[in-house]
Structure 1
């Protein structure tokens, strides 16, 4: 398979794909440091590697109708233009190709857990950029409703196959994340993650 990682970061997911016999490994990331880190990490993989330093809203010269699989692991919410990003991904994929992405569930950042109760201090309906409070430095991310993701995919020619909001957590994770942004207690009340799998129709 020819695979493309949108927001590839340090390249570990591409390494995972390479270790499972992917035919070609492609990645795009906004950060020059992350691209350099990924390039070093992927030096010894058997598959050819192509990495691009670019925002996901822009096409850095990737081939059209080429990839069997495009995926994005906790990166899509950094886009400043969801429409352009989804349009690019649709163009990159072969007919029948798969796009899978994960991102923080849009409800999760709208609610705060205090004394075992959820308090909604931000509107779920308000979309656009916001400074994510879980980061110590300013981190401007985009808030979109679940319906916005779904409708954007449909509008750009994707057939949605699966949506996952379930939480699966080990006892070790439960202890590690106690009193953190992704806490076990909050996860029992709200989904932490949204995962959507779709296919280019």
Structure 2
């Protein structure tokens, strides 16, 4: 940890969660910390976000970014417990592939798909690393609330581009960066950190620790362009029906600013 570590507010989900402490960017340490988090208490602490939801208040059923996936080859980055692969498998996808940094999550995916009569080629690896996934092979690569864990955004997008066929589609979602800056206090929204702060930080949640960085939206867009993608759609709006189904401060916040973003991009 940085000897000059700075504490600041951290926003996870709908509220402030623990105190974020700035840390030095060390890829290996971050991978070790985050794989341990997901091997142990990750799902219990953060839950599991999966299709048809892209995250809070945004759904595939509303956005329809995939379209018809029948017969297509799909790869999920950060497959978690396997529910998104199940969702697409039940829509007649031709091949299901997944990768995750956590051995525990890979096993959960395997068991979950088997229970639903499905199977997938699964790899345990950081998304930044080459791990045997074929290149120029997939019609879709997608990620639901996982891309933000990467330690190398540009390198990850370049690797994802290598997996896709020419004209293939990359869809991913993550916490909207403006949401990570703003906390709800009673009936007021208050800025708690700079939007431009992309430094790495660690947060202790119970007995577990995770390490992340909050990137600007332009950082994602510019990295996509550098990797050879053209953006076809950016979703920021919250689903009115989903917000109205929850009468709480988080839903009210989502009515005033985006809490989730989704990007659909195509490999040129």
- Per the normalisation by structure 1, the TM-score is 0.91
* TM-fit CA distance, 1:184: 1.0
Which of 237, 254, 264 lines up with 1:187 in the alignment? 254
Does the Cα contact within 8 Å between 1:116 and 1:185 map onto a contact in 2? no
Match of 1:94 in 2: 165
* TM-fit CA distance, 1:48: 5.2
Distance 1:125 1:100 in 2: 24
Match of 1:50 in 2: 121
Does the Cα contact within 8 Å between 2:230 and 2:266 map onto a contact in 1? yes
Structure 2: runs of 5+ lacking an equivalent = 1-71
Match of 1:170 in 2: 242
**Corresponding residue SS for 1:71:** strand
Greater relative contact order (Cα < 8 A, sep 6+): 2
Which of 100, 114, 125 lines up with 1:29 in the alignment? 100
Name which of structure 1's ranges 76-85 and 112-121 shifts more when overlaid on structure 2.
Answer: 112-121
Distance 1:171 1:94, change over 3 A: closer
Distance 1:198 1:41 in 2: 29
Structure 1: runs of 5+ lacking an equivalent = none
Name which of structure 1's ranges 183-192 and 102-111 shifts more when overlaid on structure 2.
Answer: 183-192
* TM-fit CA distance, 1:143: 1.0
Number of paired residues? 195
Give runs of aligned pairs for residues 130-145 of structure 1, distance below 5 A: 130-131=201-202, 135-136=205-206, 137-145=208-216
Distance 1:171 1:149 in 2: 26
**Where does structure 1 differ by over 4 angstroms across 4 or more consecutive aligned residues?**
44-48
1:118-144 deviations in Å (ceiling 9; x for gaps): 2112110111323358x5442212211
Distance 1:24 1:44, change over 3 A: farther
Distance 1:36 1:145 in 2: 33
Name which of structure 1's ranges 4-13 and 47-56 shifts more when overlaid on structure 2.
Answer: 47-56
**Corresponding residue SS for 2:246:** helix
Which of 61, 78, 94 lines up with 1:7 in the alignment? 78
Distance 1:62 1:170 in 2: 36
Determine if the alignment matches structure 1 residue 120 to structure 2 residue 191: yes
Name which of structure 1's ranges 164-173 and 12-21 shifts more when overlaid on structure 2.
Answer: 164-173
Distance 1:9 1:138, change over 3 A: same
Determine if the alignment matches structure 1 residue 72 to structure 2 residue 143: yes
* TM-fit CA distance, 1:54: 0.5
* TM-fit CA distance, 1:59: 1.7
Distance 1:119 1:138 in 2: 25
Does the Cα contact within 8 Å between 1:22 and 1:47 map onto a contact in 2? no
- Per the normalisation by structure 2, the TM-score is 0.69
Name which of structure 1's ranges 122-131 and 50-59 shifts more when overlaid on structure 2.
Answer: 122-131
